[in-house]
Structure 1
Amino acid sequence: MSSNETLKVLQIASSGMEFFHEQVRVLRGLGIDCDVLYYPPDSRKKKQIHDGLLRKVYGHNPIYYAIRGSLFYPKIVQSTLQTDYDIIHVNSGVVAPLGLLQPQRPIVLTLWGDDLLGNRLAGYQSEITKICAKRSNEIIVRNEEMKNVLPCDATIIPSGVDTSRFRPMDQTASKKAVGWNAADLHVIFPYPKSQTKKRYHIAEQLVEQANMALDETVQLQTISGVDHEDMPQYYNAADVLLLPSLREGSPNTVKEAMACNVPVVSSDVGDVRERLDPVSNSYVCSDDSELKDALVTVLQTGGRSDGREYVEEVSLDRMGERIVAIYESLLEDTEDHNQEII
């Protein structure tokens, strides 16, 4: 690829997560021509029924994923035959084997966290991810823990936050906008209750303990299924973000709260300690007792954090620039290798 040509990348992803949408958007803004394939590729009801039957027969195990992968394979072949992509960028270890189905183009593999550190498929997912990582040309991970787990080298690039969207707003006006009681204290838990690793039941217990320790009423606000563009209003209405999670990669919720100058109380997971280390009125905790004490302290003292001062390093633009640098370096290495063969 010459310097004046547009770099063409096929993005393969396991789902349409908001942070993946934003990654594609910022890469396109930087001049990268991105096509996207989602696995599973079709959300129509007929396909959902078919997938549901597969899952009922085989369960979430390697056989189920192998069958789904074989059904997805023609789409990858068709895409790579129709378009001369420079790079295949596979996003998530769940779809990592699919990138290897085409051996002609260099592969960038981004791991999100649970695909490497979690216990999916009774631990098999982590092992499959490691095998695929060794066969990829470049690997991107979210934090140092993930890098240390891999059997090969990787580049740490935290997921990025849109600092133009997530910014400080007036808290009183934000409470009114989202319909929260202006007299109460509000703890935001921006995840579905069903996500086991987020430990909603612990969040409930911590807020109950905070209510017993404080004179004011503390409300736990569970937010999910809200349009991402509306989330800044919810963050700004909150007094603190609570993340008692078991494991994370580089949680965007923490960085979004930082960008809004909202205090954060979190368990010590992923890159949270690195992100919050310089931030005022925010705490990273080793156990549930520390989480309770930190939550009470933040609610008791009041005030915002200075997180926005430290979030630029993990802005969307910075993330995009670093990914593009990996693309360009990989293509240079590939071209040099091809020249040596010639």
Structure 2
Amino acid sequence: MHVLILTTNEDAPFMNQQIAALERLGVSFTVQSVAGETGPAQSRNPLEYLKFFPTVFRESLNGYDLIHAHYGLTAPMALAQFRQPIVLSLWGTDIYGPGEPVSRFCAPFCDEVVVMSEEMRRDLGRDCTVIPDGVNLEQFEPIPQERARERVGWHEDGYDVLFPYSPDREVKNHPRAKRIVRSVDEQIEESVRLRAVHGVDHDEVIHYMNAADALLLTSRSEGSPNSVKEAMACNVPVVSVDVGDVADQLEGVSPSTVATSDRELVDGLRDVLERGERSNGREAAAKISVERTAARMLEIYRRVV
């Protein structure tokens, strides 16, 4: 089976991990990405998306079995050709951000729609398949915290709370994370630091995960945040707002907290830090390994073809 991938971000780690796992199952891929630079404060202009239409149309003539459109803004290009069936994967911000109208309009015309959480399926309001992005259990695993701290250069006494996003990404709500950590720092004797880590190679993220005492997620919206699953795979406690599928992923994981208010976030983070224990998250993460989620995606490919 040969699949044409359309994406707005050809470097997305979770997408590339899924592609690699599907390749091990015998699927081959060609990836086409929308041209143009993006960043926390920079978006592509409409002309760059319009230029992607003829690129996709020409490439679709090359004998593919199906087109897999990753992210809602690539769906119109996939639909502009009439030869191959279409699988649309929605990532979260394409349902909860400015691209929502495009995603909602295109979804009914695709042969299969895949979302990352039950919340996304409810909010989309149509029949679709829930497949959270898988976590690579070989890449993310527990390593001794002191060794990880030495690797990333965290030498101060006290606690380190990981915020694995750029503070400039408004949807991740860095100001709230700062507020929560500041409150906990005022309540306990040891110092508590918020570590915003971004722009590092994905292979290095495991060291920051294992160096941290907890991961803090304060996002305004999410689909199925990979950072939570990567922390689980490393047995790092997670303190998170109730967003996306976090509550489902953290069911039975301890110590960890899913909160609906600042007070619950503060209490949960303080409890996790004072307990000083690693979680049992890796056991729960096994059910969302990249191999399992890739096998489910292959079932969809076969059904569509």
Q: Same fold (TM over 0.5)?
A: yes
Once the two structures are TM-superposed, the CA of residue 151 in structure 1 deviates from its matched residue by 4.0
**Aligned partner of 1:166 among 118, 122, 140:** 140
2:61 equivalent to 1:69: no
Q: Distance in 1 between matches of 2:230 and 2:50?
A: 38
Once the two structures are TM-superposed, the CA of residue 84 in structure 1 deviates from its matched residue by 0.5
Once the two structures are TM-superposed, the CA of residue 205 in structure 1 deviates from its matched residue by 1.2
* Structure 1 partner of 2:131: 157
* Structure 2 partner of 1:9: 3
2:158 equivalent to 1:195: no
Q: Which amino acid aligns with 2:49?
A: G
How many matched pairs?
301
* Structure 2 partner of 1:35: 30
Q: Is the 8 A contact 1:108 1:140 kept in 2?
A: yes
SS at match of 2:60: helix
- Flag the structure with larger Rg: 1
SS at match of 2:120: helix
Matches within 5 A, 1:80-229: 80-81=60-61, 83-118=62-97, 120=98, 125-181=99-155, 183-229=157-203
Q: Distance in 2 between matches of 1:88 and 1:169?
A: 39
SS at match of 2:185: helix
Once the two structures are TM-superposed, the CA of residue 127 in structure 1 deviates from its matched residue by 2.1
Q: Which amino acid aligns with 2:8?
A: S
With CA pairs under 8 Å and 6+ residues apart, which has the higher RCO, 1 or 2? 2
Once the two structures are TM-superposed, the CA of residue 203 in structure 1 deviates from its matched residue by 1.0
Once the two structures are TM-superposed, the CA of residue 166 in structure 1 deviates from its matched residue by 0.3
Q: Is the 8 A contact 1:198 1:246 kept in 2?
A: yes
Q: Distance in 2 between matches of 1:169 and 1:243?
A: 22
Q: Distance in 1 between matches of 2:137 and 2:297?
A: 18
SS at match of 1:94: helix
Q: Distance in 2 between matches of 1:280 and 1:38?
A: 40
Q: Distance in 2 between matches of 1:234 and 1:151?
A: 37
Q: Distance in 1 between matches of 2:161 and 2:217?
A: 10
**Aligned partner of 2:259 among 278, 285, 306:** 285
Q: Is the 8 A contact 1:130 1:151 kept in 2?
A: no
Identical amino acids, percent of aligned pairs: 39
C-alpha deviations, 1:256-291, integer Å up to 9, x for none?
A: 000000000000000000000110100000111111
Unpaired stretches in structure 2, ≥5 consecutive residues: none
TM-score, normalisation: structure 2: 0.95
C-alpha deviations, 1:24-43, integer Å up to 9, x for none?
A: 21111211011000012xx5
* Structure 2 partner of 1:4: none
Unpaired stretches in structure 1, ≥5 consecutive residues: 1-6, 52-58, 332-342
The CA RMSD over aligned residues, in Å, is 1.6
- Structure with bigger helix share is 1
Q: Distance in 1 between matches of 2:123 and 2:192?
A: 39
**Aligned partner of 2:214 among 216, 237, 240:** 240
Q: Distance in 2 between matches of 1:181 and 1:213?
A: 22
Q: Which amino acid aligns with 1:114?
A: T
**Aligned partner of 2:236 among 234, 249, 262:** 262
Q: Distance in 2 between matches of 1:191 and 1:22?
A: 19
Once the two structures are TM-superposed, the CA of residue 78 in structure 1 deviates from its matched residue by 1.6
TM-score, normalisation: structure 1: 0.85
